[in-house]
Chain A
Amino acid sequence: MSRHPWVLVGVAAGASSAIVVFLSPSLVASAAHHAILPAVLPLGFYAAGGVAALILPAHGVGHRLLALGVLHLVALALLVASLLLDRSDVAITLLLPASVTFTLGFAALFDALVRYPTGRVAWRPLRRITVGLYVLAGLLAAAGFFGSATMPAVGGPDAVRPNPVYVPSLESAATAAGLLPALALLGLLLMLVRYRSATDEERAQMRWPIGAAVALVAGLATTGLLEDTIGPGAQTAVFIALSSLLPASLLVGILRHASEAERIEAVEASRGRIATAAVDERRRIERDLHDGAQQELVALLARVELARQEAEPESRLDEELRGIGESVRAVHRELRELARGIYPAVLTDRGLADAVTSAVARLPLSADVSIDPAVASRRFDPPLEAAAYLFVLEGLTNVIKHAEAERAHVRLGGAPGRLEVEVSDDGRGFDPATMNAGTLQAMRDRLAAVRAELHVASRPGGGTRIQGVFPVD
């Protein structure tokens, strides 16, 4: 169970409230079974929220579903308890909190729905709005209590009693408080709005509660139409069956989302490890070449030079040795270029900014490099440096091959928490929609290995700009 003490308090309060509600027919004759039916849905949320809080203690939706269940069960228990008291002026002390907890429950449901399925609020201002809604719901419920002519009650029409503390001027607050249950609907509508911009995985989870809500509405509409034929008992049964779908669907959705997120995290972590291993391997090969073959060739050059000293100047042997020296030097240069291609030492020794500047200078292309001072001398993880370096190289290679550009521009910049690497040109551009998807996808995949994102902006005749955005600590 969650270490959060409020969860335990909530579970205990919910359980005791449920017991009060289910005992209500024997406690209070007038309540009969009237409190039990409204308790079904809160109990469903209570159970689903409890299971979610148990399995996913860090997830934001479970706690709020649990809160909804508890708040509504408490509200019902308070209503039942108020019936035990004869004096209506004392009952107020129970009915006022009942109104407040009942309304707060809808704010909790709204909060849960806007966080579904990730547990986080996707749109930042909404977090503040939600907090404000809790406060507003509490205040409106309290004011609305005084603004309604009758007191809240469970039971038939004969259970309704006049409100002894009725304040007619607060009637509009009562009206407004009466609208707050619509927050549930608003939460579902916002989910439909978010659906468009959600990831495929989030959409799959959103379909559960949306489907459940549609089923509930359809079920109620059908049974409503057929009420004369099937009777109110059947409608109640359909309502109970379908309404329990809502908490269940939310529970299923967040559990599936969590397991999917866990799987994705594992895949990303393993992809990161593979990228790190690949970079380590390249650096090792570069080091081996440097310390091994390249050094051997330098030693060989020294030996050739020494041998030349023994040879008669300008003799055939001297000429031969000079030729050998030239060949060894050529091999040495080739090996140096090979080692640089495998992993440039300057990237290891001096970092991204120097490596990019040097690489640009070597390309048969007129390109400017601009580097933010914050990035100029900064070092990043080797896999990130390697990915960013290769991104620039690949971008410039594409400029040379395809862009027919006059000029290219490389920019290394960033904001807190991110490194932006950009290659742009004034070449012929392309239509990203008709672009061979494979090229960009390969680039995107390599960036994804270090959790970086690719942004491409291009249009025919308008040049091209590709940008890699790398998350950094």
Chain B
Amino acid sequence: MALLRVVLAEDSYLVREGTRRVLESSGEVEVVAAVENAHDLLDAAERFAPDAVVTDIRMPPGHGTEGIVAAREIRRRHPDIGVVVLSQHADPAYVLDLFSDGTDGLAYLLKERVGDRAELLRALRETVEGRSVVDPILVEALVGRRRAEGSSPLADLTPRELEVLRLMAEGRTNAAIADELSLSESSIEKHTSVIFSKLGLSPETYLHRRVAAVVTFLRRDQIS
């Protein structure tokens, strides 16, 4: 398998080098550039045409949401580059900001996943394939937020269906969900079709864009 070519953006030297080594030691990733601000990240994305970028959110000069702005800009300019945002903020508002132009090829992971190589690599591969991933902790928060916004059709889902939906939002396949919940794959398929019909989602969003559909649903009418 060819190495994934990745550009890394992180203003802390310790975290940047740590992340680089975690990624490279997997033998699946080559970090082609490691930069410390959003401007250089956009440059490097242009210059190195990587498969994916991994970026922090809060970076110089403004120390605000530069990473999210850069992530959306990269997706807009280079739809074939996957973007994994690593964040210290366990807050759904940032996820919704990241996904405000669409969810394809974008992942939002909490920074502690730096110590969870398997999860990090999975997110990278998913974004390169154009799918999206949201950190499980954030999926919970997103569901909570959607409920806080009132009158959510999520209220119609059974606890089991909510669980399936959550795993779906994490980017799991039906097989993986079946494995996780110790159920048969066919019963997961039944659950997912019920979920989609309860949420009023059309069948064409069903397969490869289902995470996008879930997150889009969660985001819908967020502030009416």
Please report A residues at the B interface, Cβ cutoff 8 Å. Answer: 287, 290-291, 294-296, 298-299, 301-306, 309, 325, 328-329, 332-333, 336, 340, 344-346, 348-350, 353-355, 357-358, 360-362, 366-371, 373, 376-377
Nearest 6 A/B pairs, CB to CB: A302-B18, A301-B115, A299-B14, A361-B144, A354-B93, A368-B150
B21 at the interface (CB under 8 A from A): yes
Verify B111–A298 contact, CB threshold 8 A: yes
Verify B18–A350 contact, CB threshold 8 A: no
Q: Nearest chain B CB to A337's CB is how many angstroms away?
A: 8
**CA gap between A450 and B224 in the complex, in Å:** 28
Verify B90–A336 contact, CB threshold 8 A: yes
Given contacts A295-B14, A357-B145, A369-B148, 4 further A-B contacts (CB under 8 A): A348-B64, A349-B89, A357-B93, A361-B148
**CA gap between A370 and B145 in the complex, in Å:** 12
- The digit string for B129-162, where 1 denotes a CB below 8 A from any CB of A, is 0000000000001001101111000000000000
Specify which chain B residues have a CB less than 8 angstroms from the CB of A301 in the assembled complex.
18, 112, 114-115
**CA gap between A361 and B145 in the complex, in Å:** 5
Q: Nearest chain B CB to A270's CB is how many angstroms away?
A: 29
Verify A299–B64 contact, CB threshold 8 A: no
Give 30 A-B contacts (CB < 8 Å), ordered by A residue: A290-B88, A294-B111, A298-B15, A298-B18, A299-B12, A299-B15, A305-B22, A305-B114, A305-B115, A305-B117, A306-B21, A306-B22, A306-B25, A329-B112, A345-B88, A346-B94, A350-B97, A355-B93, A357-B145, A357-B148, A358-B141, A358-B145, A361-B92, A361-B141, A367-B148, A368-B149, A368-B150, A371-B223, A371-B224, A376-B223
Q: Nearest chain B CB to A413's CB is how many angstroms away?
A: 13
**CA gap between A291 and B21 in the complex, in Å:** 20
Within 8 A of A (CB), among B52-106: 58, 63-65, 88-94, 97
Given A287-B63, A298-B112, A305-B22, A369-B92 contact (CB < 8 Å): no
**CA gap between A373 and B89 in the complex, in Å:** 25
Verify A357–B149 contact, CB threshold 8 A: yes
Given A299-B18, A345-B91, A305-B148 contact (CB < 8 Å): no
B116 at the interface (CB under 8 A from A): yes
**CA gap between A361 and B223 in the complex, in Å:** 14
Verify A302–B94 contact, CB threshold 8 A: no
Specify which chain B residues have a CB less than 8 angstroms from the CB of A332 in the assembled complex.
111-112
Given A345-B89, A350-B93, A369-B149 contact (CB < 8 Å): yes
Q: Is the interface of A mostly helix, strand, loop or mixed?
A: helix
B192 at the interface (CB under 8 A from A): no
**CA gap between A336 and B141 in the complex, in Å:** 15
Of B25, B93, B114, B115, which is within 8 A of A358 by CB?
B93
Q: Nearest chain A CB to B67's CB is how many angstroms away?
A: 11
Verify A309–B114 contact, CB threshold 8 A: no
Specify which chain B residues have a CB less than 8 angstroms from the CB of A369 in the assembled complex.
148-150
Of B14, B91, B97, B148, which is within 8 A of A360 by CB?
B148
B127 at the interface (CB under 8 A from A): no
B174 at the interface (CB under 8 A from A): no
Q: Nearest chain A CB to B210's CB is how many angstroms away?
A: 23
**CA gap between A348 and B63 in the complex, in Å:** 10
Specify which chain A residues have a CB less than 8 angstroms from the CB of B147 in the assembled complex.
361, 366
**CA gap between A371 and B12 in the complex, in Å:** 37
Verify B115–A304 contact, CB threshold 8 A: yes
**CA gap between A105 and B203 in the complex, in Å:** 84
B37 at the interface (CB under 8 A from A): no
Verify A309–B25 contact, CB threshold 8 A: yes
Of B12, B18, B19, B89, which is within 8 A of A346 by CB?
B89
Verify B89–A302 contact, CB threshold 8 A: no
Verify A302–B115 contact, CB threshold 8 A: yes
Closest to A304 in B: B115
Most B Cβ at <10 Å: residue of A304, A336, A345, A376: A345
Verify B91–A358 contact, CB threshold 8 A: yes
